[in-house]
Amino acid sequence: MLGRMRVVLKLGTSVLTAGTDRLHRPRLVDLLRGMAAVRAAGHEVVLVSSGAVNAGWETLGFPPRDRTLAEKQLLAAVGQGRLMHLYATIAELYGLNVAQVLLTADDFRDRTRYLNARTTLDSCLLRGVLPIINENDAVATGQLRVGDNDTLSAFVANLTEADLLVILTDAAGLYTADPRTHPDATLIPVVERVTPEIWALAGGAGSHRGTGGMHTKIQAAEIATRAGTPVVVAPGDVADALPRILAGESLGTRFLAHGTRLEARKRWILAEIAAGSIMLDEGAAKAVVERGGSLLPAGIRQVEGEFERGHTIRIIAPEGREIARGLSRYHSSDLRRIQGHHSREIEGVLGYTFGPEAVHRDDLVRL
Ligand X SMILES: N[C@@H](CCC(=O)OP(=O)(O)O)C(=O)O
Amino acid at 88: A
User: Closest distance between ligand X and the C-beta of residue 331, in Å?
Assistant: 33
Q: Does 135 bind ligand X (CB under 6 A)?
A: yes
Helix (H, G, I), strand (E, B) or coil at 343: helix
The residue from 212, 228, 243, 252 that contacts ligand ADP (CB under 6 A) is: 212
Nearer to ligand X (CB atom), residue 216 or residue 225: 216
Produce one character per residue of 252-280: b if its CB has 16 or more CB atoms within 10 Å, e if not: bbbbebbeebeebbbebbeeeebbbbbbb
Could you tell me which stretch among 62-70, 201-209, 261-269, 323-331 binds ligand ADP (CB under 6 A)? 201-209
User: Closest distance between ligand ADP and the C-beta of residue 32, in Å?
Assistant: 17
Of the CA atoms within 13 Å of residue 267, those in its CB half-sphere come to 10
Cα-flanking dihedrals φ and ψ of residue 72, to 5°? Answer: -65, -40
Could you tell me which stretch among 87-95, 130-138, 310-318, 328-336 binds ligand X (CB under 6 A)? 130-138
Q: Does 5 bind ligand ADP (CB under 6 A)?
A: no
- The annotation status of 260 as a binding-site residue, yes or no, is no
Distance between CA 132 and CA 53 in Å, rounded? 15
Do 293 and 331 form a contact (C-beta atoms < 8 A)?
no
Distance between CA 21 and CA 355 in Å, rounded? 48
CA angle 345, 363, 318 (to 5 degrees): 65
Burial of residue 355 (number of CB atoms within 10 Å: 0-12, 13-18, 19+): exposed
Q: How far is CA 94 from CA 50, 53, 98, in A?
A: 21, 26, 11
Q: Does 52 bind ligand X (CB under 6 A)?
A: yes
The residue from 98, 202, 242, 359 that contacts ligand ADP (CB under 6 A) is: 202
Q: Does 134 bind ligand X (CB under 6 A)?
A: yes
Please choose which of ligand ADP, ligand X, none residue 312 contacts, taking the beta carbon within 5 to 8 angstroms, the exact cut-off set by kind: none
Q: Does 252 bind ligand ADP (CB under 6 A)?
A: no
Please choose which of ligand X, ligand ADP, none residue 73 contacts, taking the beta carbon within 5 to 8 angstroms, the exact cut-off set by kind: none
Beta bridge partners of 47: 9, 132
Could you tell me which stretch among 23-31, 83-91, 132-140, 204-212 binds ligand ADP (CB under 6 A)? 204-212
The residue from 51, 179, 236, 299 that contacts ligand X (CB under 6 A) is: 51
Q: Does 237 bind ligand ADP (CB under 6 A)?
A: no
Q: What letter would DSSP give residue 175? A: B
Please choose which of ligand X, ligand ADP, none residue 137 contacts, taking the beta carbon within 5 to 8 angstroms, the exact cut-off set by kind: ligand X
Q: Does 170 bind ligand ADP (CB under 6 A)?
A: yes
Nearer to ligand ADP (CB atom), residue 171 or residue 346: 171
User: Closest distance between ligand ADP and the C-beta of residue 219, in Å?
Assistant: 12
Please choose which of ligand X, ligand ADP, none residue 51 contacts, taking the beta carbon within 5 to 8 angstroms, the exact cut-off set by kind: ligand X
According to DSSP, the β-strands at 300-304 and 276-280 are antiparallel
Amino acid at 304: E
CB atoms near residue 15 (< 10 Å) = 25
User: Closest distance between ligand X and the C-beta of residue 91, in Å?
Assistant: 18
State the residues that interact with ligand X by CB under 6 A.
12-14, 50-54, 76, 134-135, 137, 148-149, 210-212
